[in-house]
Amino acid sequence: MGDPGLQPRLIWEIARQQHGVVTRTQLLELGFTTKAIKHRIAIGRLHRVRRGVYAVGRPELGLHGHWMAAVLFCGPSAILSHESAAALWGILPVTVDPTVVSVITGVVRRSPGIEIHRRSCLRAEEITRHRGVPVTSPVCTMIDLAARQQRPRMEAAINTADKLDLVDPEELRYCLDRSTPRPGVAPLRAILDRRTFTLTDSELERRFLPVARAAGLSRPSTGVYVNGFKVDFFWPEVGLVVETDGLRYHRTPAQQARDRLRDQVHAAAGLTPLRFTRAQVVFEPSQVQSTLVAVARRLQTARTTG
């Protein structure tokens, strides 16, 4: 090369894009000889992180640098996946080793601290980059997690992915319906089926009214207007309003603001507003019943003593 300073500048540019690391292959492609690479290692310009992967300038790497080094070590088709991908996206907390990497094609290279998964194929939309690191998409990451994580942690992961605007439950359910069968699809679908279904008003009444009766409440008025708002269930004799939300996870800011306003108006009028998800009515009726029992008892006592 004509410019003797070009090679070092190119190394630093690649390292900047890769969170401080370069590969031996990249160095050779820049025109460095094996001898030149050994010399830079000897004088502390390069620091071996993994076989064929080096930190540039100093040995210390951040978390993204270690993730990038693991992906680069595993080859050109490698991507961060599973729990490590979830940590990169912010869906799950960062954990210690191993770094989880999926490899699509090529020879699988083993190394301490890396958990490798051989994948027969991933669709183009399931592979992306985030903060410069090759990684599975949020949807693919959620499917991978569902094959390994218990329901409570998956519930939290779905909530977090929704809050971060990575993927909401409806979109995730839509993608699952079009996904090829593989580990994680069925358990994730089972979780989402509890949260993304809808009930007609008549179905909701059929499910909810026996729960209310078991809690000791009389038959409520349904679909009536109270304080200017149409409510799902209303017990005027005790001043109780029950609303049911269609989804547990995904409520837009406008919907949340409207819900708060409704509850505040009812409370200002001396009523007690309660909210349950429609999923709770179907899948967690005992919790709904125990809440209704406690609230109804308090309201009845207040009416009697008042």
Predicted confidence (pLDDT) at residue 234 exceeds the cutoff of 50: yes
Measure the CA–CA gap between 284 and 98, rounded to whole angstroms. Answer: 37
Q: What is the pLDDT of residues 246-297, one digit of tens each?
A: 655 555 677 788 889 999 999 999 999 999 987 788 888 999 999 999 999 9
Q: Average pLDDT for residues 118-128, to the nearest whole number?
A: 88
More confident residue, 66 or 120: 66
Specify whether domain 201-305 bears CATH 3.30.56.10.
no
**pTM of the entire structure?**
0.68
The percentage of the chain sitting over the pLDDT mark of 70, rounded to a whole number, equals 92
- pLDDT at residue 196 is higher than 70: no
User: What's the pLDDT score for residue 1?
Assistant: 42
Name the nearest CA neighbour of 184 among 139, 126, 135, 145.
145
- Give per-residue burial for 252-285: e unless 16+ CB within 10 Å, then b: eeeeeeeeeebbeebeeeebbbbebbbbbbbeeb
Distance in angstroms (rounded) separating the CA atoms of residues 53 and 20? 10
Q: Is 131 left (phi over 0), alpha (psi -120 to 50) or beta?
A: left
- Tell me the domain boundaries of the chain: 6-56, 63-193, 201-305
Residue 134 pLDDT: 96
Length of the chain: 306
